[in-house]
Amino acid sequence: MNELGAAIKKLRKEKKMTLAQLAGDRLTKGMLSLIENGKAQPSMESLRYIADRLEVDVTALLHNQSLAQRRTLLLQAEEMMKNATDVFRNKTQEEILEEMLLLLTPVIDKIQGAYFEDVRLMDLWMRASRQLKKGFDLQEYKKVLEKYEELHAFTYVIKGYSFLCWNAYEERDYKTVLEFLLQGEQVLNNHEYMVDDLVKLDLYYNLALAYGALNDYKQMEVYMDKAMDLSKRNRIYYRLEDFYRLMFSRAVELEDRGKSEKYLIKLRLLDELAQDFQMHTFFVYANAHYANFIEKDFRKAIRLLKDFLPVLEEKRGKGSLVSPLFQVEQAYAHFQLGEAEHVIEVLAALYMPEFQQHPFDLIYLYFGFAIRAAAYNALGNHEKAKRDILYAHNGSLTLADSKYKMFIIEKYEIIMK
């Protein structure tokens, strides 16, 4: 039994609480027993919950001062990683991750890996190093996953495989993406009762994306259905926006007006419920996408996007960069109206973000370069037209078949003939 487990058990008995009473509705008796006997390490969230149930401060459970210090360090690192993934962060992702490395590097060599905190700090340090392209050893990272398994932290094993899959996305190696995710699913199948439902939904979402990227839309729908079943069964709203977005995009791709409208309504209800700016941003985008590809009301699409721009500037500062996806959506509407000059104006600063590895967003951005190529071609600027269409064509070769890829191929054949 480790010191943390012993401290929890001692306080529980002093307060004459049973395992079931302390576990409450957030932990199982089995998991709490493993924690008390040193066979599993609680996450910081679980530790706070246990401390609240025992009516003590978290620090009362931490006899080992160095462990307490690492827990404090872990809280800081987790907050930094959360901020780094926030779309509307004040600092750049690189700045935040650099700060994280400065915070963690001095202690990494001192970490023994005996506690969950040690393993998680090493995990976050390796993630930051990888994202900043400062070196990443796959075999060493797999050792981190093995440490998680030894600590029965199966939720974090699955999170680790999800992280590895996004590394493979950068290489457009979708088979490897799927291999990593299926390894994560095997861990889930073996230890489902010890895995957080939110992590299950992350895994199902990533599996749906991976199968979609490999043109296996039947399996993609299998995992979307699994996610919806889990969400409804346990009344969980986490990732609903992402799954509805995926279903909406797929319905629009198939030109299924009924399903497109169905998921657009669901996105609207979520937007109203969440009152979240990032979610609202996608809802506006979805409305414009629906106007463009289902209603064929191109003026409406342009109006929706232009009306939202002042709101976006107010949120992120005047002159801030508008999402390239918004630019492509607006440019497509102008293209369909025969307004080549407006297409060039809207897409003048179009670029491919380094972090953009979502396969469905990737094809749409390449679609944008093809639109710009077609506009240049219509205006007689064949040199720039060839530059853009070659970039779009070559970049989309490994991506799944779609109407956007067909558009790229069609414009490639016209411009390069």
Same-domain check for residues 1 and 17: yes
| Residue 15 and residue 37 in one domain | yes
In a domain, residue 106? The reply is: no
The reply to whether 295 and 345 lie within a common domain is no
Same domain, 377 and 315: no
* pLDDT value for 226: 94
366 is a domain residue: yes
Q: What is the pLDDT of residues 255-304, one digit of tens each?
A: 999 999 999 999 999 899 888 888 888 899 999 999 999 999 999 999 99
Query: What pTM, to 2 d.p., does this model score?
Result: 0.74
CA distance 225 to 204: 9
Given 20, 38, 63, which residue is the final one in a domain?
Answer: 63
- Quick check: 167 pLDDT over 80? no
The reported pLDDT for the residue numbered 135 is 86
Residue 413 sits in the same domain as residue 330: yes
User: Is there a domain that residue 399 lies in?
Assistant: yes
- Work out the pLDDT band at 340, boundaries 50, 70, 90: very high
**What's the structural domain count of the chain?**
3
**Could you tell me if 266 and 289 are in contact, meaning their C-beta atoms sit under 8 angstroms apart?**
no
Q: Answer yes or no: do 285 and 372 share one domain.
A: no
User: Which of 10, 62, 35 has its CA nearest to residue 151?
Assistant: 35
Residues 315 and 330 in one domain: no
Q: What is the DSSP letter of 282?
A: H
What single-letter amino acid sits at 187? V
> Is the confidence at residue 89, as pLDDT, over 80?
no
Range of the domain at 417: 325-417
Average pLDDT of the segment spanning 335-340: 97
Q: What is the pLDDT of residue 113?
A: 67
CA-wise closest residue to 104 among 134, 74, 69: 74
The residues, ordered by sequence, that sit 6+ positions from 100 with a Cβ below 8 Å of its Cβ are: 77, 80, 81, 84, 124, 125, 128
pLDDT for residue 252 is more than 90: yes
The pLDDT value recorded for residue 153 is: 92
Q: Is residue 185 part of a domain?
A: no
Predicted pLDDT at 319: 39
Asked if 330 and 315 sit in the same domain, the reply is no
Domain termination site, one of 288, 304, 320: 320
CB atoms within 10 A of CB 287: 20
Phi then psi for 347, rounded to 5 degrees?
Answer: -100, 15
Helix intervals (H) in 42-92: 44-54, 65-84
Would you say residue 185 has pLDDT above 90?
yes
In this prediction, residue 60 has a pLDDT band, given cuts at 50, 70 and 90, of low
Looking at residues 397-412, what average pLDDT do you find? 94
The pLDDT value given to residue 357:
67
Write out the two tokens for 283.
């809802």
Q: Bigger pLDDT: 149 or 68? A: 149
Percentage of residues of the chain with pLDDT beyond 90: 51
- Same-domain check for residues 286 and 333: no
pLDDT tens-digit readout, 117-163: 889 999 999 999 988 888 889 999 999 999 999 889 999 999 999 99
More confident residue, 375 or 320: 375
What CATH number has the domain bearing residue 9? 1.10.260.40
Q: Are residues 354 and 303 in the same domain?
A: no
Domain boundary among 283, 304, 320: 320
Is the residue at 232 inside a domain? no
